[in-house]
Amino acid sequence: MNPIRLSLAICLTTIFNTAWPQDVKNNLEEAFIKVESKVIEWRHDLHQNPELSNREFKTAAKVAALLRSLNFDEVQTGVAHTGVVGTLVGKNPGPVVALRADMDGLPVMEQTGSPFASKARGEYNGQDVPVMHACGHDTHVAMLMGAAEVLANNRDQLSGTVKFIFQPAEEGPPAGEDGGAAMMIVEGVLDGPNPPEAILGLHAWPNDIGTLTYRSGGFMASADNLQINVIGRQTHGSSPWLGVDPIYVAAQIATAIQGIPSRHLDITNSPAVITIGSIHGGVRGNIIPDEVEMMGTIRTFDVGVREKLHTMLRNTVHAIAEANGATATVTMEGYAPVTGNNPELLKKMMPTLNWAAGAENVVEGNLITGAEDFSFFQERIPGLFLMLGVIDPSIPRSDRPSNHSPMFIADDRALMTGVRTLVGFALDYPTVHGK
């Protein structure tokens, strides 16, 4: 036979004997149905037993036990304190991708009235506090556990390797501790002889059940923690001219800096927010104290705007303090860069998202001033970060509790859309990237 014809025959035989990703995913419908009740059960248990950042011991043990029972090729525990990383190698060669879920709860008293509501308590910065999954991380973990079971039981359909990253402390580690995505990266979760080349994360959001909301490029804001200490000179409240009143100075600073975005930045180009959420100073109404501590947050979507805002904020604070005979220190500490969706990766994976949720349920969203430390993974490799709708559409949007509310609760009917999205990403990525 002609060598060219022989090569063509071999190539065609390979093509027709290999299932296309769409066929593979369609063949998994029974697996999705089978795992759904487990995903719901896991979610209820996780919601009822939340744990705070860097203290996700029981959650991590539950995850690790499942991965080991599924005969994962490797299960690492204790990553960034309590993180779990599972490695699943498919039957066929291909690239490495990563799927991520965050595990921690919040110091919030649950008020949902759910039959599986949390009554848990924990210690946060030395205080005994209630604990709740008020941001949907219980659903994130349960969905990734479901994806792990589906893919492990069908690894003969999987090309390449999947890293399952169960991350602690997305909400931020306790004072004086490291943690979160940044610490997992330092400890090598994206390294090794075959590092992941793309990553997907999902977040429960108060949109309609089963919708996937995306935005190409920047989606969620970068966040900086802000602390301002104003130092005056203590005196009697009846004679403020004998001292320097840091409370009076702090009030001027709070008003001035929160006006920087609206009066000094072009918000039509890129939005920005400065918020002062905490002011502490003094112990009595008739004593002007020596010092006031102010704490807040800064949200931006552009590196240049962020730098300009930081400079203006420092200059404003110091100028107001100096004009009043006080001094001030300004500390700005980055929590997370901008989180978004790699435009090329988003375009290539759009058919997968349409398959997972239905094309009519995949919608473009607006900018979100909330922040996510998933962005640290995206600084290293291309990634997608999508909002999964978890609220009954019959509930008016004005009545839907936001994330971090004591009333926030996800609807179980949204979970399998998340599982399908995670599984679909792992199966389709090798094909859409020609690997």
Overall average pLDDT of the 289-299 stretch:
98
What's the pLDDT band for 21 if we cut at 50, 70, 90?
low
Q: How many CB atoms lie within 10 A of CB 272?
A: 24
407 falls in which pLDDT band (50, 70, 90)?
Answer: very high
pLDDT value of position 25: 77
Would you call 411 a catalytic residue per the annotation? no
Query: 231 and 198 in contact (C-beta within 8 Å)?
Result: no
The Cβ of residue 356 has, within 10 Å, a number of other Cβ atoms equal to: 26
Q: For the residues 232-244, what does the mean pLDDT come to?
A: 98
Q: What is the pLDDT of residue 63?
A: 98
Residue 410 phi, psi (nearest 5): -85, 150
Q: Return the CA Rg of the chain.
A: 25
> Which residues pair with residue 74 across a beta bridge?
87
Residue 433's pLDDT band, with cuts at 50, 70 and 90, is confident
Would 23-221+338-432 and 223-336 be classified into the same CATH topology? no
Does residue 18 have a pLDDT over 80?
no
Model pLDDT for residues 186-200, shown as the tens digit of each residue? 999 999 888 999 999
Per-residue confidence band for 1, with pLDDT thresholds at 50, 70 and 90: very low
378-389 pLDDT, tens digit per residue, is: 999 999 999 999
pLDDT surpasses 50 at 14: no
Q: Is residue 374 scored above 60 in pLDDT?
A: yes
Note the pLDDT of residue 44: 98
The predicted structure's pLDDT at residue 304: 92
For the record, the structure tokens of 238 come out as 């009846």
pLDDT-derived band of residue 19, with 50, 70 and 90 as boundaries?
very low
Pick the CATH number of 23-221+338-432 from 3.40.630.10, 3.40.50.970, 3.40.640.10, 1.20.120.550: 3.40.630.10
The single-letter DSSP state of residue 115 is T
Indicate the average pLDDT of the chain: 94
What CA–CA distance (Å, rounded) separates 317 from 313? 6
* pLDDT at res. 16: 35
Q: Is the dihedral of CA 118, 121, 123, 129 positive or negative?
A: positive
Instruction: Exactly one of 56, 102, 104, 302 is catalytic; name it.
Output: 104
* pLDDT score, position 11: 44
Q: What is the mean pLDDT of residues 269-295?
A: 96
Domain range 223-336, CATH architecture: 2-Layer Sandwich (3.30)
Q: Is 56 a catalytic residue?
A: no
* H-type alpha helices, 215-330: 246-257, 260-264, 303-323
Region 74-103: what's the mean pLDDT? 98
Domain boundaries, the chain: 23-221+338-432, 223-336
- Catalytic one of 138, 149, 170, 302: 170
Would the pTM count as exceeding 0.85? yes
